[in-house]
């Protein structure tokens, strides 16, 4: 018989390429005390490894996967989380006007294994469906329970959103908080960022963190989710 679930605190956050108040950004993430952080628009250019490490250090975390190989998608973890394997993807396969990618990390925490994934889809509606399908193929092929953070650049009524969400739990909906908008901070009116999880994972709590500090830190609000992972055994 399986034991009680293993808690996991997740932040998913488009950090606007660190173009805003980086001190506020670090304070936002540290205050959340996450186990894992899924970053969109992280370092992806010159000296990206050093910049990713510096960003992780400012949060009190370490780099798991991502950066340039994932075109700015970045996965960070606390020392509570053991990273077992990582991979990065870029899509579309041929260079396009809006190159995007994804980062993946197989992780272990408290005896529970899971796949952590992050992606950022194009602002171009003509490009998003193929990118969503590529991301979804990776998620659907996973044998581990999936925890995915995504900036979809469209709302729940969009086809790309529906592609990614199929068969997964939308954490906002599960917590009855789908009315919480994530973008833009100056005038929040859209929910274009989401955390999707395997149906074996329980959603304990969900919040879009709207504070004076988060309004200074990025043009997106961070999503904070408490999960209960299925324990091994």
Distance CA 9, CA 121 (A): 24
Q: What confidence score (pLDDT) does residue 93 get?
A: 56
Measured between alpha carbons, how far is 218 from 72 in angstroms, rounded to an integer?
15
Q: Report phi then psi at 192, rounded to 5.
A: -110, 0
Tell me the average pLDDT across 87-105.
80
Q: State residue 98's pLDDT score.
A: 65
CB burial string 203-216: b at 16+ within 10 A, e below: bbebbbbeeeebbb
Say what percent of the chain tops pLDDT 90: 91
The SS3 assignment for 142 reads: coil
**pLDDT at position 2, please?**
42
Confidence of residue 104 (pLDDT cuts 50, 70, 90): very high
Question: Mean pLDDT, the chain, as a whole number?
Answer: 95
140-153 mean pLDDT: 98
Question: Could you tell me the pLDDT band of residue 199, with boundaries at 50, 70 and 90?
Answer: very high
Could you tell me the sign of the dihedral formed by the alpha carbons of 190, 173, 207, 58, in that order? negative
Question: Can you tell me the distance from the alpha carbon of 68 to that of 50, in angstroms, rounded to the nearest whole number?
Answer: 11
> Which of 50-59, 90-99, 161-170, 196-205 is predicted with the least confidence, judged by mean pLDDT?
90-99
Give the position of tokens 């999936």.
Answer: 146
Q: What is the pLDDT of residue 1?
A: 31
**Full-model pTM:** 0.96
Kindly tell me the sign of the dihedral angle through the C-alpha atoms of 216, 221, 222, 225.
positive
| Average confidence (pLDDT) over 34-49 | 96
How much of the chain, in percent, has pLDDT values that exceed 70?
A: 95
The arithmetic mean of pLDDT across residues 120-134, rounded, is: 93
Q: Average pLDDT in the 28-33 region?
A: 98
- What domains appear along the chain, each with residue ranges and CATH number? 6-229 (3.60.10.10)
Read off the DSSP letter of residue 145. P
Q: Which residue has the higher pLDDT, 161 or 94?
A: 161
């Amino acid at each position: 018989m399986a034991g009680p679930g293993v808690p996991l605190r997740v932040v998913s956050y488009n950090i606007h390429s660190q173009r805003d108040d980086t001190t506020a950004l670090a304070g936002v993430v540290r205050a959340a005390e996450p186990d894992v952080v899924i970053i969109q628009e992280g370092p992806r250019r010159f000296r990206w490894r050093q910049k990713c490490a510096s960003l992780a250090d400012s949060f009190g975390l370490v780099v798991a996967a991502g950066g340039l190989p994932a075109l700015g998608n970045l996965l960070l973890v606390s020392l509570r989380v053991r990273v077992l394997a990582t991979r990065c993807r870029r899509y579309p396969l041929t260079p396009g006007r809006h190159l995007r990618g994804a980062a993946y990390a197989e992780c272990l925490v408290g005896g529970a294994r899971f796949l952590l994934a992050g992606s950022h889809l194009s602002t171009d509606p003509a490009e998003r469906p193929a990118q969503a399908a590529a991301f979804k193929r990776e998620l659907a092929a996973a044998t581990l329970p999936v925890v995915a953070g995504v900036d979809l650049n469209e709302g729940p009524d969009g086809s790309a959103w529906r592609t990614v969400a199929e068969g997964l739990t939308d954490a906002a909906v599960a917590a009855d908080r789908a009315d919480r908008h994530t973008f833009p901070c100056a005038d929040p009116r859209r929910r274009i960022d989401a955390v999707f999880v395997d149906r074996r994972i329980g959603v304990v709590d969900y919040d879009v963190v709207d504070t004076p500090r988060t309004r200074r830190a990025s043009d997106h609000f961070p999503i904070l989710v408490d999960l209960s992972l299925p324990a091994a055994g």
